[in-house]
A and B are shown apart, each in its own frame.
Chain A
Amino acid sequence: MNNSAEKKLALTHLWVAFGAFGLAAVMGLYQVIERSGFFGFLESRAVYYASVSTHGVLMGFVLTTFFIMGFGYYTATSSLKMPVWNLSFAWVGFGVSLSGVVMAALPLLGGAASVLFTFYPPMQAHPLFYIGATLLVVGSWFWCVSMIVMYTQWKNANPGIAVPLAMFATTANAILWLWTSVGVAVEVLFQLIPWSLGWIDSIDPGLARTLFAWTLHPIVYFWLIPTYTAFYCLVPKQAGGFLFSDEMARAAFILLVVFSLPIGFHHLYMDPEQGHGWKILHAVGTFVVTLPTFITGFTVIASLEIAGRLNGGKGLFGWIAALPWTNPMVLAIILGLLMLIFGGFGGLVNASYAMNAMVHNTAWVSGHFHLIFGGTTVIMYFGVAYYLWPILSGKPLFCKAMAVKQLWTWFIGMIIMTTPWHILGLLGQPRRIDSVNYNNLLTLSWEPYEVTMMFGGAILLYSSALLLINLYKTQMGTEAYQGEIEYAEPIHAPDDLPEYLNSFKLWNIVIAVFMLIAFGYPILQFFLMETFGSGRWGV
């Protein structure tokens, strides 16, 4: 099948993603240096918050959304062996998202949207920021529609046959994103945009935070599912083996979609607008969502074990050494899983209702987030990029050794940066501050960790440069490369798959019920209780 148009579509999305990543990486190093307080001439609160807001938006929304869309389009066309449905529609979605990014970038870079990537009110940004962010999301809905249409078309043309796992996972992510983005869309459309335009005088921050909590946790899984898709569908083949279980992979994706949605209140444990009972309900759900993570850990490690043993590895752990550590995709998953272990532990502390009070709004949270997102999720984006770039560009990878070096430096830099970040949180350093204007024994005790973090940040920027140079040189190469994506085969083909592992109809109903239980009254209460001045929607 000639899918050069789809390759161009995917590669364009991926270039936007990694372009945003490169810019954000430079800002990251500036921020870690600025907030250390060691370089007085760099200190500027206005620049710091403009930078940290832009860094968060670029990494959290632009890198991820464009990567997910680009990877998704190519996964859809290559796994289903059919062209992308309505290519023009896909390009329109790309244009809408990109125009949103440009629109949001103007106030961000000008310091008129220094509201961090969570844009919690009462901090207010320029209307262009909210409108731009909305367009980014609306553009991504085009992608969701494309994925669901292609999934449905294939399923109708192949009744009773299991949808290829990679497409099942991609469709799961599209459905997850549609559910996920409802919360923030309602917040932005009915609260933030009218408020920032001056149409209304006030809004209820409690309602805004509740709606954002709807989005804030599942968005992490929206970012993570492409990583898991690569874990299940690409890595086993690259490692020289097979997928341990197709069914367990599907179960994990379904559990991720269902249970990542009704649990967002663990971000609001310290907030007054929601009662303890609702928070505990969400806390229980937060621990449930560790189940698909453990299923994924088991299934992908078992797949790696099979590959290692097929490669000649012996003994209980001898297969680990027999894995192809110089394959970027395999190295990325090994390092990603290591960071997932440390980051996962941090997440358990965050999710623990009592212990959360110890780390809430401290530097620990930023450290955890960077380790999980910048570590596990993004390192696999790199692994996928190294694998896909030659396929999409038709040029061989410029330098495999550079890719391996980049992955190692990313891992080392991330560990060096996030370990002291966690410790700083335990030492009481608040997150989201640019500096402290006082000196005492407590703040002095932070200094060695601040210095260490700067080294970590510098290594990460170096690693980012290696990635971008490698991708650029690959694109500019003169040699030709002909290859197509190779999906991992499961040990046992999913021939007799029950419909609930091949369809999302049942799960959408389950999600609707869960969301009604988890968010129904917590949102409704804002329209029932006296709020002393703050209008619900601001009217």
Chain B
Amino acid sequence: MFIGLEYVVSAYGIWVCTFAIYILLTKRRLKKTNQTVVALEQRASESYHNF
């Protein structure tokens, strides 16, 4: 009944792992760019007030 199970497991396994890693990396990238934008905006407004 389960002839070829290893192919099915590897296809589904690779698919799930790829998207899990891709989603994690994309979320991390979004968080980092978001933080950098906020920090830079803050620095820009601080230097404007100091000036």
- A and B associate: no
